[in-house]
Amino acid sequence: MARVAILVLCMLLLAATCQGLKYGYYSRCCPPAEYIVRDVVGKAVRNNPGVGAGIIRMAFHDCFVRGCDASVLLDPTPANPRPEKLGPPNFPSLRGFEVIDKAKAVLEKVCPGTVSCADIVQFAGRDAAFFLSGYKVNYGVPAGRFDGRVSLENETLAFLPPPFFNLSQLINSFKVKGLNVDDLVVLSGSHTIGRSHCSSFSDRISTPPSDINPALATLLRRQCPANPNFANNPTVVQDIVTPNKLDNQYYKNVLSHKVLFKSDAALLTSSQTAKKVVENAVIRGRWETKFARAMVKMSLIEVKTATNGEIRTKSCRVVN
């Protein structure tokens, strides 16, 4: 009965206009929107925590290319055969598209033509963090984004920082998007969960001298081929201590040189970032609070409006 009442209320309020990027954006035009996304994401994460890690990464990859506009979701078409999702940073490693599809399908039944795919991606990233952190990362997301109509593979390499970047390159790539050094250190903490292909760090375990922990390097050499390629490129967990939990273990791993990427190790190459690593590692609750704030800040990058975007109605995979 409660579900029916919510659906009826939603339909009665559909005529209300959602305007402006704000918290509670859908409270009048689609009241159950955020609850629907959280329900879909929660079920997916409980079934497979790795999907949750993929969704958090998706939120990041979407925002860094053309802003938070769901351009990363668009499928290839004859007119655009190489969208973002086929770019090297995204294919074949980016995960969670089916979760966004499911949430969108439910929302289109309840509130047709109302909830943008861009908002769904940011809600889903927030909800994945909530469940994977054991409810410790809990924050609101301002909504009202519109969906982009353009998605280009070559822009992924231009804007998404690769795992081999040094610190100055990382700082510059975040600065371009309006994010600062603290945001860089905090958002890097998402590497505490998920998996990585061996090709992303093979140089760190095969070419001395590397600062990676010798025992970890030995373990990784057992799991990875000497020369990973498209046909033989296994994945390994990014955090060997708490692989399925979003927590501050990443920073402890950085300090003990038990991280996979050169970009992770780069956080110790300046006193400014190294101090932030230590704080996130030892101060209880510090990172979770900062991560929530940084995710909200990131979600505001280059947001589309009705003047340069749309609300995809058929599917998040195609423009209207």
Centre a 10 Å sphere on the Cβ of residue 27 and count the other Cβ atoms it contains: 15
- Reading the block at residue 60, the tokens are 């990041």
Region of 178 on the Ramachandran plot (φ > 0 left; ψ -120 to 50 alpha; else beta)? left
Query: Among candidates 206, 216, 195, 220, which has minimal Cα distance to 51?
Result: 195
Cα–Cα distance for residue pair 268/245, rounded to 1 Å:
23
Query: Among candidates 92, 146, 111, 132, which has minimal Cα distance to 35?
Result: 111
Long-range Cβ contact pairs of 35-40 (< 8 A, separation 24 or more): 36/103, 36/106, 36/107, 36/110, 37/103, 37/107, 37/120, 37/123, 37/124, 37/127, 38/123, 38/127, 38/130, 40/99, 40/102, 40/103, 40/106, 40/124
Q: Return the CA Rg of the chain.
A: 20
**Residue bearing tokens 């040189």:** 257
Centre a 10 Å sphere on the Cβ of residue 102 and count the other Cβ atoms it contains: 17
Query: Which residues are identified as catalytic?
Result: 61
Compute the Cα dihedral for 157, 173, 124, 242 and give only its sign. Answer: positive
| Residue 70 burial by Cβ neighbours in a 10 Å radius (0-12, 13-18, 19+) | buried
Q: Where are the beta strands (DSSP E) in the chain?
A: 195-197, 235-237
Let me know how long the chain is. Answer: 320
